Amino acid sequence: MLRRSLSRLVAFLLEPLAWPCSRSALVMMSHLLPPQLHCWQCHMDANSPQCAGEEKRVGTRTVVVGHRPVSEADAYVAQKFCDNRIVSSKYTVWNFLPKNLFEQFRRIANFYFLIIFLVQVIVDTPTSPVTSGLPLFFVITVTAIKQGYEDWLRHRADNEVNKSNVFIIENAKQVQKESEKIKVGDIVEVKADETFPCDLIFLASSSTDGTCYVTTASLDGESNFKTHYAVRDTTVLCTDEAIDSLTATIECEQPQPDLYKFVGRIIMHRSNQEPVARSLGPENLLLKGATLKNTKKIYGVAVYTGMETKMALNYQGKSQKRSAVEKSINAFLIVYLCILLSKATVCTTLKYVWQSNPFNDEPWYNEKTKKERETFKVLRMFTDFLSFMVLFNFIIPVSMYVTVEMQKFLGSFFISWDKEMYDEEMEEGALVNTSDLNEELGQVEFVFTDKTGTLTENSMEFIECCIDGHKYKGCISEVDGFSQTDGTLKYYGKAEKSREELFLRALCLCHTVRIKQADQVDGLIGHPECKNTYISSSPDEIALVKGAEKYGFTFLGLENDFMKIRNQKNETEMYQLLHTLNFDPVRRRMSVIVRTTTGKLLLFCKGADSSIFPRVQQEEIQQTKVHVDRNALDGYRTLCVAFKELTQKEYDRIDRQLNEAKMALQDREEKMAKVFEDTEADMHLIGATAVEDRLQEQSAETIEALHAAGMKVWVLTGDKMETAKSTCYACRLFQTSTELLELTARVVGESERKEDRLHELLMDYHKRLIQDVPKPRGSLKRSWTLSQEYGLIIDGSTLSLILNPSQDSSSSHYKNIFLQICLKCTAVLCCRMAPLQKAQIVRMVKNTKGSPITLSIGDGANDVSMILEAHVGIGIKGKEGRQAARNSDYAVPKFKHLRKLLLAHGHLYYVRIAHLVQYFFYKNLCFILPQFLYQFFCGFSQQPLYDAAYLTMYNICFTSLPILAYSLLEQHINIDTLTSDPQLYMKVSDNAMLQWRPFLYWTFLGAFEGLVFFFGVYFLFQNSSLEDNGKVFGNWTFGTIVFTVLVFTVTLKTGIFDLPILVSYKRIENGYVKTEDALTNLAERYPLRIL
């Protein structure tokens, strides 16, 4: 009772407020409020007729079109939605300083030096606070200037967008406003070649059919024109006066980042008539950032503005990836921090041992004050310890972080500037989305690649088709045709004429292709024999429509919901398009429902064989399956075509169910999927098509090079096994000598014993690859190649059994056995993979023992999950859109460019940054060790050896620029040699140059040279009177000479960096490259350096 009363009170308080649309607020309220208030934004109870079926609707918004209330009797309170300002910047003038400082001091090194600086200020230390404060100030200032400049560029870009002019329809007139002043509910007019200023619901256009063409290159990179449709009842409102008379409300979901999903409905109110409701989907939503093409103007109502647009939401929340080099730096920092603590502890201890002698503790010339005598000894020891920490703190290279960032940022331009990675056809080169992973490109062990559009061109060409088991290849005439029967039949024949025409009509009708005149559309694939241009977001569909045209059936376009085709007799046929059941990756098929001029209702469906075969008559499958399997072995992409005739009663039921599902605001996709499933059942198979997707140029050579470089290549694809296997042989992933191990539904079976059968296969493969094979000599991490090469093929259904075994089975160890088998195979093919399964495969390998570096490369939206999951994500700027390139770390035009990206750029970036990191630790140890040794000769009095200016400027000026230049420009091996000899990649693999052995080498080298610097000058000063006049050189002279020799030595060290790398080469290759040969090659390349 109390809860009910409280609910009513909250409802009473909320009802007149029409709260704003903050997503976080809505989510919080949905948990706090009772169910009947979850629909509060609609100002109606969830049990009312208007909300029927929406009992669970949470997080929706109501938009009043044109800010005109439905009824003048109702009080209209404007809802407070977010404005249309785009804010991509992080800082403002007021919060830049505190926010930037807070972010910078979150880094351990910066915070450490801040503490040291404060100690110097508070405690009486031997060095001035300037010595640590100035380098810290330099690092903080440089970083702040860089981040401030980048943020200023963001502010400037934001202002260009926010201050651009737009036209709003108010009181039947156009009013020019700035873009940032658009409000949710405003009716906006957009003209040709303009970008949409916010997310709009498409109401009307200059086209009579209520369509417009849009390019979304700035959102997902797709250059193909996409067709959008206005709301059916508002298409006639194509003038300012007409559109201003519209009285309607829009109910839609709260903002979410998926570009391809939208759920809503529009309710139009007319005087003295019942309100009319229409469903809204992604085809009605015009996204901010997209561009209007080939349409004079459109009208739309703003539903999402500013930071709630899908474009703004899509550029937020990308996960941060860390490279292995950063982890090595942190480990080395801990070692040097331990060295620092040890030095401070030793000096503090020896100081009090030294002062145990009263004469040393209080000499006659330096008596203690009363305050010093009364200070607690423990406090004095702690103060001395801090003083020694301050004196030796320069062993921690604070400026290394800035230098590493500059090296990564500036070095990334070499990838973008590489002319060999520029594609003239696409007129684009490589793109670097993040420079933090440059060195990771030189450490890749596993490459996961998509097939279609990555290994292949994704440029489809219709090859042949099959109708009732009869193969058609070439052109057919009206009278007769050429066909060949698949299967065991040995004679030539052809299908019935009616079946041929039915099949070709299906190809002409079952698609989403649109037609535009060639002289009005630029940059699209034109038909060579006519003036029309086919427009589609899928190259498969264009290939099939052109294939039907080869056989005499031509698609003429869609006009007023009627599809027109020209048949073999040159007659025009009209079909009313009633419904389109769009393609999605889960169903792997699409359908259309059309009505003929005679009133007959037909459903045509096309899709993958695995999706079509279970939904047709089983006796019709075999004759077509033979053809499909043969085409798959030839490497062609296959689609099956089916149909069924609907009665008027069946169509009425389907129409009602589809409309109900489309009107749902919650779980719309699930409801529509259920209707699709029920509709696409009990069909009749007509035939199949074969489309060729040619292999990309040099993809086979690239895979061979990656194999030779010690990388394993796995192909993850959604295609069927036979097609994918044929492609793998063509691109040399599988060799003729490769023995293939298969874990597919065909081998495992579909019976209840399939888990037992899977267990038997896994144990058999495990025994063959691991138990019966002797362990290789040596401990090379990449010694995975066996005397007999093995390849593994697995499909999605079997992978589900392995990764998600049933609860009652004893198969929890399937995953480990499967992983061991995969790691012993030279190549793995995963077919029939869902996008989520691709990411699961990558995650499984990434989390194995040793954490191997993984790389994923793909070109489509279905590859984004694995690209984000891998250590390094590569996007191909392909024909399936730019979702992959937009979400990747690096983007390249073609798969062949991966070879140079890894073998040349990756190798060089890793060597350069490894030298940079080791060099910084080395030079700082050289710098601070003489300071430590000097304490033994000054009674541990914390007397600095170097002048304060030298302490301050050592890392900032004297030693920073040479190593930065080296780390940007050094090529220890010619780029052509790196590209042509992939085995050079293995020399620096497994983080070889940042392992403990090279690190200790550099550490001992720094310690040795520090000893030489100090004691060399020390023995030189045995006779302190070095001038004829008897002038004695003192402490300043001694320290300056040590510092001068030190700076010259560590600077010249950058010129002989090739020598230490030979140590790691010999170590990791275990004799593969002999030191003598390497020295000879080095002398040939750099004769002056060896001398």
pLDDT range class, residue 693, cuts 50, 70, 90? confident
Please give the sequence-ordered ranges of beta strands (E in DSSP) within 708-789, or none if there are none: 712-716, 739-743
**Sequence letter at residue 882:** R
Q: What integer pLDDT is reported at residue 173 of this predicted model?
A: 87
Nearest Cα residue to 132 out of 383, 407, 386, 382: 386
Q: Which of 242-246, 257-261, 307-311, 349-353 shows the lowest mean pLDDT across its residues?
A: 257-261
pLDDT at 117 over 50: yes
Length of the chain in residues, anyone?
Answer: 1091
Q: What integer pLDDT is reported at residue 187 of this predicted model?
A: 92
The span from the CA of 54 to the CA of 50, in Å, is: 9
Residues of 838-859 as b/e, b for ≥16 C-beta within 10 angstroms? bbbbbebbbeeeeebbbbbbbb
The span from the CA of 726 to the CA of 715, in Å, is: 12
- Per DSSP, the chain holds a count of helices (H) and strands (E) of 39, 34
pLDDT at 849 over 70: yes
Q: What integer pLDDT is reported at residue 1075 of this predicted model?
A: 38
Q: What integer pLDDT is reported at residue 222 of this predicted model?
A: 56
Q: What integer pLDDT is reported at residue 532 of this predicted model?
A: 65
Q: What are 358-385's pLDDT values in tens digits?
A: 766 666 666 666 666 666 778 888 888 8
pLDDT at 1085 over 80: no
Nearest Cα residue to 18 out of 280, 287, 249: 249
pLDDT range class, residue 404, cuts 50, 70, 90? confident
Q: What integer pLDDT is reported at residue 438 of this predicted model?
A: 85
Q: What integer pLDDT is reported at residue 601 of this predicted model?
A: 92
Higher pLDDT, 495 or 933: 933
Mean pLDDT of 859-888: 77
pLDDT range class, residue 476, cuts 50, 70, 90? very low
pLDDT at 649 over 80: yes
Q: What integer pLDDT is reported at residue 331 of this predicted model?
A: 84
Query: Is there a catalytic annotation at residue 450?
Result: yes
The span from the CA of 208 to the CA of 527, in Å, is: 25
Q: What integer pLDDT is reported at residue 240 of this predicted model?
A: 87
The span from the CA of 970 to the CA of 992, in Å, is: 18
Name the percent of the chain lying above pLDDT 70. Answer: 79
Q: Which of 199, 418, 436, 450 is catalytic?
A: 450
Three-class SS string for 89-135?
CCCCCCCHHHHHHHHHCCCHHHHHHHHHHHHHHHCCCCCCHHHHHHH
Global pTM exceeds 0.75: no
pLDDT at 281 over 60: yes
Q: What integer pLDDT is reported at residue 1026 of this predicted model?
A: 56
Mean pLDDT of the chain: 77
pLDDT at 735 over 60: yes
Q: What are 652-665's pLDDT values in tens digits?
A: 998 888 888 887 77
Q: What integer pLDDT is reported at residue 1032 of this predicted model?
A: 66
Look at residue 589 and give its three-state secondary structure.
strand
Question: Whose structure tokens read 């009043």?
Answer: 64
Q: Which of 120-134, 301-315, 699-713, 918-932 shows the lowest mean pLDDT across its residues?
A: 120-134
pLDDT at 56 over 80: no
Residues of 951-972 as b/e, b for ≥16 C-beta within 10 angstroms? bbbbbbebbbebbbebbeebeb
pLDDT at 531 over 60: no
Mean pLDDT of 119-125: 78
What does the radius of gyration of the chain's CA atoms come to, in whole angstroms? 36
Q: What integer pLDDT is reported at residue 184 of this predicted model?
A: 92
CB contact at 8 A, 177 and 184? no
pLDDT range class, residue 78, cuts 50, 70, 90? low
pLDDT at 188 over 60: yes
Q: What integer pLDDT is reported at residue 35 of this predicted model?
A: 34
Q: Which helix (H) or strand (E) holds 814?
A: helix 814-824
Q: What integer pLDDT is reported at residue 45 of this predicted model?
A: 36
The span from the CA of 57 to the CA of 953, in Å, is: 64
Question: Whose structure tokens read 């009910």?
Answer: 4
Q: Are strands 872-876 and 854-858 parallel, antiparallel or unpaired?
A: parallel
Q: What are 723-732's pLDDT values in tens digits?
A: 777 778 878 8
Name the percent of the chain lying above pLDDT 90. Answer: 11
Looking at 433-565, list the stretches that DSSP marks H as alpha helix, in order from N- to C-terminal side. 497-509, 539-550
Token pair for residue 539?
């190259």
Q: What are 812-824's pLDDT values in tens digits?
A: 577 888 888 888 8
pLDDT at 775 over 80: no
